[in-house]
Structure 1
Amino acid sequence: MALRSERSLDQTDWKILRELQQDGRLSFNELGKRVGLSAPAAAERVRKLEDAGIITSYGARVDATRFGLPLLVFIQLRCAPDRCLFKTSSAEKFPEILEMHRLGGHHCTMLKVALSSMEHLEAFQERLDAYGEYTINVVTSNLFTKHIIDWEQPEVDLHPSAQQEWDKR
């Protein structure tokens, strides 16, 4: 399977994306040095990646355990028909939610939630009860977190016809 996107990315674009995903605070001067461009050319490439919606934001990754939220849970939620969390609530009511995803299948929603304690989890559950049935999975350790997307090269063996299509890019 070949990667498809609305905008074709060349090797320089991928170099820029790798560098910015590792350190979004790089100056255009430093970024240009790392990818073999002048600072203005690097800035123009980044602007084009932003305009294409490929780069959507810049920010800091934080460790929630360091500021009092050591309990991480994933909650699969199956909303009651007239009480969908997506439609009837707001982020302000659930500041503990780090991520919220709509799902296909038995559950309609997946929540990633950071909490301070088991008591905090119980209080969160009481607020969540109004929306439907759920399954809670407590994270015991984080084995792998991928922060960098790098699909410049195919990561799997492709069928020969798919490989030929990939090589045409």
Structure 2
Amino acid sequence: MAGLTTLSTEEEVREYLANVHTEYSFQCHKENDAAGGVPEDPAMAYSLFLGPCEKSSIDVGPDCCHNLGLLAAQGVRQPDGRPNHDLSRRFFAKACDAGVAPSCMHLAISLNIHEPRDDTRATALAENACKMGHSPSCMVAAHLLSQRGLGGKVRARELRAEAARLHAENTGRDFSVEFGK
């Protein structure tokens, strides 16, 4: 039967049971649905994501780091409950380095908004995430280039067009965007 696991030794059973809880925990927190799914518990989610992120687990580590970046940016598990942008940047950078495009975008936004600012690095990160096929990152890069001026407007227009192309490709719907002609 499809979907059944055949476990023939005690060692296989122990390994399966040791891993099933971990996989279930991460998947449930990742797919938390509002219609009766796992209750939202950001502090517990933070605890569950921390181990795989720190261990750089190839399967779930980068996604866990991304989620930790989101939680730290919201102040989850911070002593004063305030956003910790340095910590969120560290988590986003780790996930971005592993190829998680949304983390590159969030890191770019943080570098553009919060001190210490680094608009050059922010733009490069957003453009790199755009190259990974993440259409929102294309829009962020376009915005950052438009802010900087000096020839950035032409490249910004190209990035907006790329965002529209990626969106249409991913959704099957055209999404043309024109800002400040």
Structure of larger gyration radius: 1
Q: Which structure carries more helix by proportion? A: 2
Q: Which structure exhibits the higher relative contact order, with contacts defined as CA atoms closer than 8 Å and separated by 6 or more residues?
A: 1
Normalising by structure 1, what TM-score? Answer: 0.29
